[in-house]
Amino acid sequence: MKRLLTILPILSIILTGCHKDPFADATFTPAHPSVGEEISFTNYSTNTEYSEWDMGDGTVSNAFNVIHFYYDPGQYNVTLKSFGKKSGVSTASFAVDVIGSELKIIVKEYYDEYLLPGARVILYPTLDDWDAETNPVVTAYTDKYGECFFSNLSYQVYYVDVWEQDHDNYILAADDVGFIETQLLEGGYDHTFIAYVDYYLPATKKSVSSTLEKKKLMKEEASGESRPLKLNKISKPREK
């Protein structure tokens, strides 16, 4: 009996020693993801009972392996915590650099389709912002070819405001929101958006103190007869 009591403590020590500390480890692919592109996080943790992921954008997960994408460009600090089968926790961190989308905008007059240089182009994040001219994302001016370029954009649609001394797209927006709403800007694509505008004779212009007032006035005076929406969204996969 005394011999059995001596063996039991030793056996307990041996069993306790079988529980090794957890070790957190993982990889992710692709190495240089774009906004909207799915990223596979593969968990190689050992001696772990369960894992917790913090994706660095407010998203958390208890899945062992994770597939995730980001809406906005930037660097995200992803943290993996692996919890041991008995106790202990191991942590690993990964810096994920997410590349923003690019967009080329070409400004054309609606009827004659001539190109318009020197036009101011503003991107807004929502239609309400476009209407109220609040929270502009970025501004550019078209070059001599009627083109301007934007980069480091998020995985979303934008609303395009175009103004030039004799042209704008305010009544076209009232005809159809598709005239000012871009395609969803997924990374890894060459996106082109044709922003159509109307021409106004100088004699018919209204005398208003701001473009916002003009926008509201012209939308109110829109005839309500919608013009056909021309093809204005072109997205092609970028060659790798």
Query: What's the token pair of residue 17?
Result: 């020693």
Other C-beta atoms closer than 10 Å to the C-beta of 110 total: 17
Average pLDDT estimate for 184-205: 88
pLDDT the model gives residue 210:
63
Would you say the CATH fold of 101-237 matches that of 20-98? yes
Q: Is the pLDDT of residue 218 over 80?
A: no
| Confidence band for 5, pLDDT divided at 50, 70 and 90 | very low
pTM to 2 decimal places: 0.84
Among 110, 107, 205, 204, residue whose Cα is nearest residue 162: 107
- Residue 206 confidence class, pLDDT cut points 50, 70, 90: low
Domain boundaries of the chain, sorted by first residue: 20-98, 101-237
**Whether the predicted pLDDT of 167 surpasses 50:** yes
- DSSP per residue, 112-174: T--B-TT-EEEEESSHHHHHHT-S--EEEE--TTSEEEEEEE-SS--EEEEEETTEESHHHHH
Does the pLDDT at position 13 exceed 70?
A: no
Pick the CATH number of 101-237 from 2.60.40.1120, 3.40.50.150, 1.10.10.10, 1.10.357.10: 2.60.40.1120
Average pLDDT of every residue of the chain? 88
Nearest to 144 by CA among 200, 173, 106: 106
Tens of pLDDT, residues 54-104: 999 999 999 999 999 999 999 999 999 999 988 899 999 999 999 999 999
Helix or strand holding residue 197 (H, E): strand 189-199
CA dihedral over 101, 151, 132, 200, signed as positive or negative: negative
Highest CATH level, class, for 20-98: mainly beta
Nearest to 70 by CA among 138, 156, 150, 151: 156
